[in-house]
Amino acid sequence: MRLRHFVFMALAATFLTACQQEDVLNVSRIEGKASYRLSNDTLSRMAKLNMDQKSPILIRIFKEEGVMEIWKANTSNRYAMLKSYQICAWSGMLGPKKKEGDRQAPEGFYDITPSQMNPNSRYYLAFNVGFPNAYDRALGRTGNNLMVHGACSSSGCYSMTDAQVQEIFALAHDAFDGGQTAIQLQAFPFRMTAENMVKHKNNSNFDFWKMIKVGYDQFEISHRPPVVNICNHTYVFNQVAAPGANFSPSAQCPAMSTPPDMAQAYASFEAKYDQDYAAAEKKYAGYVWDEPTEAQRKAAVAKLKSKVSDIAFAPTGNGLQAGKMIKLEDLRTEEQKKVQAEADKALAEAAMKAAAKTDVADVPVPQANPASTTSSVATAYQDVPAGDDANKKPFWKFWGN
C-alpha cells in the first residue's frame, strides 16, 4: 500500500508541475503523433470561408469563457474565425503571469515560431507561447516553459485535449509551410466587451486589461493582427514611429502616430463603446463580479471529472460556470471573513507547531514503585497518573484526526 501511495503521489506531482518541466526536444521527430492532416469538416469550412489551406492563422484565448479560437486569413487577407475549442484546463485566476511558480497562465500578446513547436512533448503535443515576451521582461517577470499542450492538466499552461491540440498543430504546420514566420497569440482574461469591463472594474489588473484592450479592439475593427510594439513598459498597437525613432521596452515611447484609417475607425468604435460602458454601469450599479477560484472552477466540473479514471485528465472549468455577480457590500463582507479565516488558520497552525515542539524532557519522569522488589520500564510508566498521560499527545497525533 505504501508503495502504491508513493507512485500515485509521484504521478500527481509530475502533472502539477507540467508546464515547468517541459523538455526541449528535436522538433523534426514526429513519431506518428501528429499526422498534420485536417478533417474533412475543417477543410470544408475553409472552402466556404475562402481560405487557402496554407494561409496564416492567429490564436485568441479567453480565460473566463474557457475558449481558444483559431482565426485564419481568407483570400482578401482578412481573418475570420475558423474553429473554437473549449480549453480543458488552465490554472490560477484572471490576470497576467508575474513570476515563476505563481501558477498563472499568461495574458498579453505573444509570437509563436516554428522553433517553439514540440511534437515530442511529454504532454502529447505542445508549443511554447513565448513567455516572457519583451513586455514581461521589461517588468522583470519570470517563468519558463509556458505551453499550450495536450493531456488536459495545467500548472500555468493552457491545456487542451489531445484531439484538439493535434488539430491546432496541423493548422500551425500548414501556416508555417505556407510561409508564415510567426503566429500571433492573443491571451485575454475575458471577451473585452463593455459589460465585462464594468463587471471587472474593481480588479487590481484593470489598468493592464485596459491597455491590452486597445489591441483587442483594433483586431475587432480590422480583423487583421495588430502590429505590436513595447515602449515605456507599455504595449502599443499599430503605431508608426517618427522617422529615425525606435521602440524600446524600457525607454520612453518615441513620437508616434496611428494610421489615419485606423484612427478614424477606432474613434468611432470607442464612441460606441463609451455608450455601452455607461449603460452597463447603470445596469450593474452596486454590484461586482465575484471571480471564482481555481478550486471553485474545478468543483463546477466535478461530475465530468468523476467519470474518468485517468488522473492526468483534470478539467478546471471556466469562470462563467462558477462566478457570479454579487453586491459590493456583500463581497467586502466575504473578503473580511476570508481574511479572518486566514488569520485564525495561521494562529491554529502556530499553536500546533508550538505543541509539536514540546520537549520530551518536560514529561514527568516515571519512578519505580518502591513497594516492588523489581522494577521495569513498563511498571514505571504504569505509575504515571492517568490524567497526565491522557493529556500528553505524542507530537504526531496533532497531525491526525
Q: Which of 88, 152, 157, 231 is catalytic?
A: 157
Nearby residues of 360 by Cβ (< 8 Å), 6 or more positions away:
none
**Closest Cα to residue 237, out of 257, 265, 261?**
257
SS (H, E, C) the chain: CHHHHHHHHHHHHHHHCHHHCCCCCCCCCCCCCCCCCCCHHHHHHHHHCCCCCCCCEEEEEECCCCEEEEEEECCCCCEEEEEEEECCEECCCCCCCCCCCCCCCCCEEEEECHHHEECCCCCCCEEECCCCCHHHHHCCCCCCCCEEECCCCCCCCEECCHHHHHHHHHHHHHHHHCCCCCEEEEEECCCCCHHHHHHCCCCCCHHHHHHHHHHHHHHHHHCCCCCEEEECCEEEECCEECCCCCCCCCCCCCCEECCHHHHHHHHHHHHHHHHHHHHHHHHCCCEEEECCCHHHHHHHCHHHHHCCCCCCCCCCCCHHHHCEEEEHHHHHHHHHHHHHHHHHHHHHHHHHHHHHCCCHHHCCCCCCCCCCCCCCHHHHHHCCCHHHHHHCCCHHHHHCC
Told to judge if 223 belongs to the known catalytic residues of this protein, a careful annotator would answer: no
Told to judge if 149 belongs to the known catalytic residues of this protein, a careful annotator would answer: yes
Q: Which grid coordinates belong to 201? A: 472594474
Q: Which of 88, 149, 173, 200 is catalytic?
A: 149
Contact 88, 315 (CB under 8 A): yes
- Residue 395's Cβ-side half-sphere holds a number of Cα atoms within 13 Å equal to 11
Residues with active-site annotation: 149, 157
